[in-house]
Structure 1
Amino acid sequence: METQYLRSFLLVIETGSLAEAARRINLTAAAVAQQMRTLEREFGTPLLARAGRTVAPTPAGHRLAATVPQLLRELAHAKTHVNAESLVGELTIGSINTALHSLLPDILARFVAQRPEVKVFLQSGTTRQLYEGVQEGALDAAVCLYPSFALSKAFDWSPLREESLLLLVPRHLADQDPLALLRSEPLIRYDRSLGGGQMVERYLRAAHITPRERFELSSLVAISMMVDRGLGVAVVPDTALNWPDGHNVVRLALPGQTESRRFGTLWLRSSPQLHLIRLLVDCAQGVVKERGGQRMAV
Structure 2
Amino acid sequence: METAYLESFLLVVETGSMAEAARRLDITAAAVAQQIHSLEREFHAPLLARAGRTVQPTPAGHRLAHSAPALLRELANAKTQVNEAGAAGELVIGTINTALHSLLPDILSGFVARCPNVKVFLESGTTRQLYQAVQQGRLDAAVCLHPPFALAKTFDWALLREEPLVLLAPRSLAHLEPHELLRSQPLIRYDRQLGGGQMVERYLRAAQIAPRERFELSSLVAIAMMVDKGLGVALVPDTALAWPDGQGVVRLALPMRQAEVRRFGVIWLRASARLPLIHHLVACARAVVAERGGPQAPPR
Q: What amino acid maps onto 1:81 in structure 2?
A: Q
The answer for the alignment partner of 1:38 in structure 2 is: 61
* Cα distance in 2 for residues equivalent to 1:186 and 1:224: 14
Q: Deviations over 1:157-214 (max 9, x none)?
A: 0010000000000011111111111111111010111111111111111111111111
* Cα distance in 1 for residues equivalent to 2:294 and 2:266: 19
* Cα distance in 2 for residues equivalent to 1:242 and 1:195: 20
* Cα distance in 2 for residues equivalent to 1:137 and 1:204: 38
The answer for the alignment partner of 2:93 in structure 1 is: 93
Structure 1 or 2, whichever has the larger Rg, is 2
Q: Deviations over 1:20-41 (max 9, x none)?
A: xxxxxxxxxx99973765144x
Q: Say which SS state the counterpart of residue 183 (structure 1) adopts.
A: helix
The answer for the alignment partner of 1:253 in structure 2 is: 253
The answer for the alignment partner of 1:280 in structure 2 is: 281
Q: What TM-score do the two structures reach when normalised by structure 1? A: 0.77
Q: 2:290 touches 2:296 (CA, 8 Å); kept in 1?
A: no
Distance 1:86 1:125, change over 3 A: closer
Q: 1:72 touches 1:138 (CA, 8 Å); kept in 2?
A: no
The answer for the alignment partner of 1:141 in structure 2 is: 141
Structure 1's consecutive aligned runs of 4 or more residues displaced over 6 angstroms after TM superposition are: 3-6, 30-33
Larger deviation: 234-243 or 286-295?
Answer: 286-295
Q: 2:93 touches 2:121 (CA, 8 Å); kept in 1?
A: yes
Correspondences of 1:173-252 after superposition (within 5 Å): 173-252=173-252
Cα drift, residue 141 of structure 1? 0.3
Cα drift, residue 127 of structure 1? 0.3
Q: 1:161 touches 1:262 (CA, 8 Å); kept in 2?
A: yes
Q: 1:5 touches 1:35 (CA, 8 Å); kept in 2?
A: no
* Cα distance in 2 for residues equivalent to 1:259 and 1:86: 38
Q: Say which SS state the counterpart of residue 81 (structure 2) adopts.
A: helix
* Cα distance in 1 for residues equivalent to 2:109 and 2:243: 21
Q: Say which SS state the counterpart of residue 221 (structure 2) adopts.
A: helix
Q: What amino acid maps onto 2:167 in structure 1?
A: L
Q: What amino acid maps onto 2:188 in structure 1?
A: I
Cα drift, residue 288 of structure 1? 1.1
Q: Say which SS state the counterpart of residue 235 (structure 2) adopts.
A: strand
Distance 1:81 1:197, change over 3 A: same
Cα drift, residue 292 of structure 1? 2.8
Percent same amino acid among aligned pairs? Answer: 67
* Cα distance in 2 for residues equivalent to 1:109 and 1:280: 10
Q: Deviations over 1:87-139 (max 9, x none)?
A: 53111100111111111111100010111111111111100000011001110
* Cα distance in 2 for residues equivalent to 1:82 and 1:99: 32
Q: Say which SS state the counterpart of residue 89 (structure 1) adopts.
A: strand
Q: 1:80 touches 1:273 (CA, 8 Å); kept in 2?
A: yes
Unaligned runs of 5+ in 2: 11-50
Cα drift, residue 153 of structure 1? 0.5
